[in-house]
Amino acid sequence: MVKKQVRIYFLCMQNRCRSQIAEAFARRYGGEHVIVESAGLEASSVHPMTISAMEEVGIDLSGHTSKRLDMKTFMNADVVVKLCEQLNERCPVVPFGIQNFEWNLPDPLATENIEQVRIVRDQIEEKVKGLLHSLDVLDT
């Protein structure tokens, strides 16, 4: 039996760290079972510490760009994951029928310390695996 692809949209404020990391891990662990994108309310650029922290786990984000929230992608998602608290007040209401998760992870870039980025990266990796497992799309 072929599994249906699940559309997942990861959102944070600037799409420069947390949502980029979540998107990358969802691609790694969801494989062909997921269609995954990330965005921010504001576009920025992928932060160098994000790129470095992900290189350490074998994921290259150097070619990634920061994207702004796209309402078509938002409305077509099966799952929307908000990675930061600031987003809750400013994000559009997630429509009925779309699973909505709020992970409220602190901004690791606020400290200018790559160790914080690593800690949040590892938390996101575990949360993404749990999410994909709950959706029955974790590639093993």
Q: Which long-range contacts (CB under 8 A, 24 or more apart) does 95-101 make?
A: 101/131
* Residue pair 16/40 in contact by the 8 Å Cβ criterion: yes
In angstroms, rounded to a whole number, what is the distance separating the alpha carbons of residues 131 and 23?
12
The residue annotated as part of the active site, out of 8, 11, 12, 69, is 12
Q: Is the dihedral of CA 119, 124, 125, 126 positive or negative?
A: positive
Q: Mark whether 17 is an active-site residue.
A: no
Catalytic residue among 21, 24, 91, 94: 91
Q: Name the active-site residue from 83, 84, 117, 131.
A: 84
Asked whether the CA dihedral 117, 123, 125, 128 is positive or negative, the reply is negative
Q: Which residues are catalytic?
A: 12, 84, 91
